[in-house]
Amino acid sequence: MTTDRLQEGIEVAGTARELTIGRILAFSGGPFGAPGWPAKNLHTDAGKAAEAGLSAPIVSGIQCEADIVRLLIRLFGEKAWFETGRLHVKYPRPVFADTALVARARVRARQASADGTKIELEIWCDTPQKETVVVGSASCIVR
């Protein structure tokens, strides 16, 4: 997609990704060769999750955020995103293992400047049941 097509109101979606227990352990379990792998934390261990008041281990927020970043790189390209991109997110509810997520973005504004065009987005991730698990905003200047 070219950034010219990113006009106000346009909505785009990433590809669904299943956050399996294997992915969670690989991301949050610590170094694979470490003694006692996986590390015991609220992302990998039912007991630690229960201590935190959770019904089961949860996916790391940063792991969910990766889907949004993947979408933003697809929209803006690596160079523009990594040089001028900004992202702010919140996590309104936990994500448990074996949940599929889709990153989504809606263009809120386009502003021309001497540096290029700043594109502002509303971003979120939701489940197939339309539960929103990540919300926020992003912007990037494209030349």
Q: What is the pLDDT of residues 14-38, one digit of tens each?
A: 999 999 999 999 999 999 999 999 9
Burial of 122 by CB count in 10 Å (0-12 exposed, 13-18 middle, 19+ buried)? middle
| Chosen CATH of 3-18+59-142 out of 3.90.110.10, 3.10.129.10, 2.40.50.140, 3.40.50.2000 | 3.10.129.10
pLDDT at 4 (0 to 100):
85
The beta strand positions in the chain, using DSSP E, are 11-13, 17-19, 86-90, 99-113, 116-126, 132-142
Question: By the 8 A CB rule, do 58 and 127 touch?
Answer: no
The DSSP H or E segment spanning 21 is helix 21-28
The region that residue 114 occupies, defined by phi over 0 for left and psi between -120 and 50 for alpha, beta otherwise, is: alpha
Q: Where are the domains of the chain?
A: 3-18+59-142
pLDDT at 126 (0 to 100):
97
**pLDDT by residue (tens digit) across 90-143?**
999 999 999 999 999 999 999 998 999 999 999 999 999 999 999 999 999 999
Q: How does strand 116-126 pair with strand 132-142?
A: antiparallel
Distance in angstroms (rounded) separating the CA atoms of residues 121 and 118: 10
pLDDT at 2 (0 to 100):
72
DSSP string for 40-51: -STTT-HHHHHH
- pTM (2 decimals)? 0.91
pLDDT at 1 (0 to 100):
61
The beta strand positions in 32-98, using DSSP E, are 86-90
Q: What is the mean pLDDT of residues 43-63?
A: 96
**pLDDT by residue (tens digit) across 67-103?**
999 999 999 999 999 999 999 999 999 999 999 999 9
